Structure 1
């Protein structure tokens, strides 16, 4: 379910990016937008998108860690400690 949600979000982002690029290209062709302005705008959107992606990843990691802690699932660190204790 989580995997499907992630794929849906990524798909939506790709579709949105393609639509924005298409509309900007139309504005360029109609002479309503300079090429340099379009490039600057697209770069700005890409930078913001990357920042939001990083923020989302961090929030997702934090949420997953909380869920695993609540469920009492052993982590790699826990398993390694157990291996050392058994030696």
Structure 2
């Protein structure tokens, strides 16, 4: 989706994949940069791009579990190894 230099509330919300109401609340809480023109909220492109860059969540590394067993079973096996218990 292309953004104009200044976007309306609805366009900015669509770009950020959230509801206009949520974006309005975030603007009110000063979590995203905006301009108020009377009762209308306007969002500069730079403010939206900054918000996206600051709120990117990195993908977690894959779990180190070469056997494909559940996390609970893996924890139990590791605990048994620490205690020196026999598995079978």
User: Of Structure 1 and Structure 2, which has the larger fraction of its residues in strand?
Assistant: 2
- Structure label with greater radius of gyration: 2
Return the TM-score normalized by structure 2: 0.29
Larger relative contact order (Cα-Cα within 8 Å, sequence gap ≥ 6)? 2
